[in-house]
Structure 1
Amino acid sequence: MRVATWNINSVRLRLPLVGDVVRDLAPDVLCLQETKCPDDLFPVEGLRAFGFEHIAHRGMKGYNGVAILSRIPFTVRADDPNWCEKGDCRHLGVTLATPSGPVDLHDFYVPAGGDIADRNVNVKFAHKLDFVAECTAWNAARGPARRSVLVGDLNIAPLEHDVWSHKQLLDVVSHTPVEVEAIAAWQRAGSWHDALRHFVPADQKLYTWWSYRARDWEATDRGRRLDHVWVSPDLAAGLHSHTILKAARGWERASDHVPVLVELAV
């Protein structure tokens, strides 16, 4: 099964680029974040034209939003939490009907957290930490994940080489120690296996996001790994390959995130 995740940064604006992702990655499942589209305007038929017969989405006007596009039949998980009681369309869970049995798939868009890494003066940062804490408690209550995949823009680059400069970004939102510990606790709570670092050792640089603010993003290469794929321990042995589609950052009207794909046996 080939599972891809991408913060598309507006599904309607970048709808044609989905075709480029399909051409280059051939995903069986494509999970999107930051779709920025209310459900009644979601371009279902346009996305089906790329071969995704099964589509689920949760969206709102102008902000957030998640969607799962699949060639594999699925049912939407109905009982997952309303995180922080905000109803802000940051999570979508489905159960994929694979030939070997059901696989739960979770698509997350964690709050970015604003610019100030202090929950006492920045409500956006407080929301981010509360969101991750709720996810952690939810996983802890459920026990170790089984036959599950979790993907998305988690807006945290946890490891030293997940950012262009560990030293310079220690007080920058997305790489602060409190965020790093929070995402590590979430991973531990579900016994999640980091699928990208399964292939790329922790001492090697690995990025999925390059800021729009960079005059020449490719030359400076000041990236961060904000997009993640985690798999449950029972699926880790089936991990086959990964792709970071870095070229997508250079596409016309590109997102600042690039698509990430993992292939695994389920």
Structure 2
Amino acid sequence: MPFTLATWNINSVRLRAGLVERLLTEEAPDVLCLQECKCPVDKIPAEQFAALGYPHLVARGQKGYNGVAILSKLPLEEVDGRDLVQLGHARHVAAKLPNGVTVHNFYVPAGGDEPDREKNVKFGQKLDYLTEMRDWFAAERPERAILVGDLNIAPREDDVWDHKKMVKIVSHTPVEVDHLTAVQEAGGWVDVTRKDIPEGLLYSWWSYRAKDWDAADKGRRLDHVWATPDIADAAHSSRILRPVRGWDTPSKPSDHAPVFATFDL
């Protein structure tokens, strides 16, 4: 049976629970992966989501920061999450679907503002996190798996609004792109979004700093859907729901838009 999966950095699941409900009602993905939930697991409004047909939840949380969750119509078997670089951050959660597919949901560190690990500890943490992801997938090459999340890197020139202006900005620097590419190659991951939409500018994040984000359109593709080669050909219908970035009812929007893909498995 086909199933549709979405990934979305919600930027506080409690503050924006109404937006999550709206997405679940209007788009009805079978699985929704959330990042930056910003609350302990017991504070996630799970009952609200269960009432909409999403009774299954696996999550890692912490107060005020980070946090990842998988909501599902389908039963989930929780898989051990990884605390990479031993940061003590809730940045990874994983679960297995009834068809045997494992879904990994990541929130990679943003990396601060200065792309220099000597001057900026957060940038070093980001690179180290990606290195441990690479080493993990090289040692335990995944099969029948999907990796989604806010990976906080826009790898391609057409994943940012202006490559020349962005090449020295955290999220698009060559060293970050190289690290992400190494993660992808170690696991054999296929970028499902770009498999389906191979050409053209494509964004999933627009800064809150822009007075009119839509008109300025200075976006970046930070949110990704990857799959292992054994199931990548079953993926199709990838899309980024840009209008969701503008949803302001019943709360102000996240600065990210959700990314969707359907798998015939």
Q: Which TM-score tier does this pair reach, normalised by the shorter chain?
A: over 0.9
Q: CA deviation at 1:56?
A: 1.1
Match of 2:167 in 1: 170
1:210 aligns with 2:206: yes
Over residues 127-155 of structure 1, what are the superposed CA-to-partner deviations in whole Å (9 max), with x where a residue is unaligned? 00000100000000012x21100000000
Aligned twin of 2:44: 42
Unmatched segments (≥5 aa) in structure 1: none
Q: RMSD between aligned alpha carbons?
A: 0.9
Give 1:87 deviation, angstroms: 2.1
Give the letter aligned to residue 207 of structure 2. Answer: S
Match of 1:188 among 169, 173, 185: 185
Task: Report the Cα offset of residue 240 of structure 1.
Answer: 2.2
Take 2:43 and 2:103, find their aligned partners in 1: how far apart are those partners?
Answer: 24
Partner of 2:253: 254
Q: Distance in 2 between matches of 1:105 and 1:258?
A: 20
Task: Report the number of matched residues.
Answer: 260
Mean Cα displacement is larger for which, 22-31 or 169-178? Answer: 22-31
> Is 158-167 or 230-239 further displaced after alignment?
230-239
Which residue of structure 1 aligns with residue 131 of structure 2? 133
1:203-232, CA deviations, whole angstroms, 9 ceiling, x for partnerless residues?
A: 410100000000111111100000000011
1:91-126, Cα deviation, whole Å (9 max, x unpaired): 00111112xxx1110000000000000001100000
- 1:135-189 Cα shifts (integer Å, max 9, x gaps): 000000012x211000000000000000000000000000000000000000000
**Counterpart residue identity of residue 16, structure 1:** G
| Counterpart for residue 120 of structure 2 | 122
Name the SS for the 1:161 alignment partner. helix
| % same residue | 53
Shift of 1:236: 1.3
User: Which residue in the other structure is 1:179 paired with?
Assistant: 176
Moved more, 18-27 or 231-240: 18-27
Corresponding residue SS for 1:112: coil
Alignment of 1:100-119 (within 5 A): 102-119=100-117
Structure 2 Cα separation of the partners of residues 127 and 150 of structure 1: 20
SS in 2 for 1:167: helix
User: Are positions 1:225 and 2:241 aligned together?
Assistant: no
TM-score after normalising by structure 1 = 0.96
Q: Which amino acid aligns with 1:36?
A: K
Residue 3 of structure 1 deviates from its aligned partner by 0.5
Q: Does the 8 Å contact 1:25/1:261 carry over to 2?
A: no
Gaps of 5+ in 2: none
Tell me the distance in 1 between the aligned counterparts of 2:239 and 2:53: 20
| Moved segments of 4+, more than 4 Å | none
